[in-house]
A and B are shown apart, each in its own frame.
Chain A
Amino acid sequence: MSSTPYRTPEPDSRNAATVGKSVRIVGQIFTKEDLYVDGDVEGTIESLENKVTIGPNGRVQASIRARDVIILGQVQGNVETSDKVDIRKDAKLVGDITTSRISIEDGALFKGSIDIKKPEPKVAAPTPVAVVARPAEPYSAAASGAAALSTAAINR
């Protein structure tokens, strides 16, 4: 058995829109791709179907809504994800979390509440139902008899 401790993979800023170290944004950020924030953001960040990573130099005063959020820097604001929040060692988050899954490394500072919501079941596209023509039901003597009996009872 290996004694090497499991290491969480480092977040990758490639293939993601990036807010660099020396960038400061005040306002709203909407993105349809992964976002890596290593600068200052004040406002809101929304990337509902993608991942938002706050880098070690990132300082965010904003509410964040995304599929996944990884925090290595500092965040003050509420975080809402449809999948996972990952707070790494030395990160700082002051705010409330709503998520399906959460991971907090030792050494991270978190102040706020955690509300776990169950992931919404994915609605599958309706599949056409095969309709099989059923053969006509054979004449049921028993059923017919019962019907005849009840009719006879009524006639009496």
Chain B
Amino acid sequence: MLTERLLSIFRKENDPVSNGAQLAASLSTGSHSASATRSLAASRKFNRKEALTRQSRGLEQFFFNIRDVVGLSVLDCAGASQDNIDFLINLGHKVYSQDLVRNLDEAFGLDLTEQTNPSRIEYFLKQNFQYPPETLDGVLLWDALQFMSPALLNATVERLYEVMRPKSYLLAFFTATERVRDVPSNSFRIVDHKTIALTERGIRPAGQVFNNRNLEKLFGKFESVKFFLTRENLREVIVRR
């Protein structure tokens, strides 16, 4: 009986519309085995639309740093999401929203060599960070920076420095695997002050290798940089302006 169920599960893994939640539900009716667990993990890996919820030390630190203050201006670069907007608004902040990865695609496409054109870089910055100096009290960049080539990345960080207030914070995620060229891009939803839900939205080429030294150099103008390494081989970085 269980064997039949597992066989149907393995068949479903080859079906693009197979759903990890359905799989988990079907498994919950029978006894778990190692192979079942493996198949569930495989399905999760395969099904890009399934959200993964995990704790984020970086996010926790970000909100810890801006606790007890209301009326801040926070830029969320994850794109419009009811969860993120509700969470930030309930903390009493003004929310700025944009989808930075999508805007990257619109401005440059997927070809990283396009990201070296100075006039395009300037256009991109104008489209995305056209704020008066020292406007933002917090920036949730999520994983967008890791898809930028060095030229665009440096220009973006420079512009962020200008539009962020002194003593404000930004949160950014970078892959910690140094040999991987293509990395998954995720959409990020805030579940609570220390938990996020990630939904993969495709694989994209990483702009460069990001190690601690590179990141410290990148944010050299800022006051401090703090790293948190996650189980998913991500560096969560909190930067203080």
Residues of A within 8 A of B (CB): 87, 102-106, 108-116
Contacts and interface: CB of A to CB of B under 8 A. Distances in A.
B12 interface: no
Contacts of A110: 79-80, 97-98
24 contacts: A87-B80, A102-B85, A102-B89, A103-B82, A104-B80, A104-B82, A104-B85, A106-B81, A106-B82, A108-B80, A109-B79, A110-B80, A110-B98, A111-B97, A112-B96, A112-B98, A113-B73, A113-B94, A113-B96, A113-B97, A114-B85, A114-B95, A114-B97, A116-B94
B216 interface: no
A102 B80 CA distance: 11
A110 B89 CA distance: 16
B192 interface: no
B162 interface: no
Nearest to B102: A109
B50 interface: no
Nearest to B88: A114
Contacts of B94: 113-116
Given A102-B85, A104-B85, A112-B97, 5 more contacts: A103-B82, A109-B102, A110-B97, A110-B98, A112-B96
B99 interface: yes
Which 5 pairs show the lowest CB-CB distances between chains A and B?
A110-B80, A114-B95, A113-B96, A111-B98, A104-B80
Point out which of A108, A109, A111 has the most chain B C-beta atoms below 10 A from its C-beta. A111
Contacts, number: 40
Contacts of A103: 82
Interface string B70-84: 000100000111100
B44 to A, nearest CB: 20
Interface residues of B, number: 14
A66 to B, nearest CB: 20
A114 B95 CA distance: 5
A103 B86 CA distance: 9
Contacts of A102: 85, 89
A109 B89 contact: no
Point out which of B97, B98, B102 has the most chain A C-beta atoms below 10 A from its C-beta. B97
B196 to A, nearest CB: 16
Contacts of B99: 109, 111
Contacts of B89: 102, 114, 116
Contact of A109 (B73, B80, B96): B80
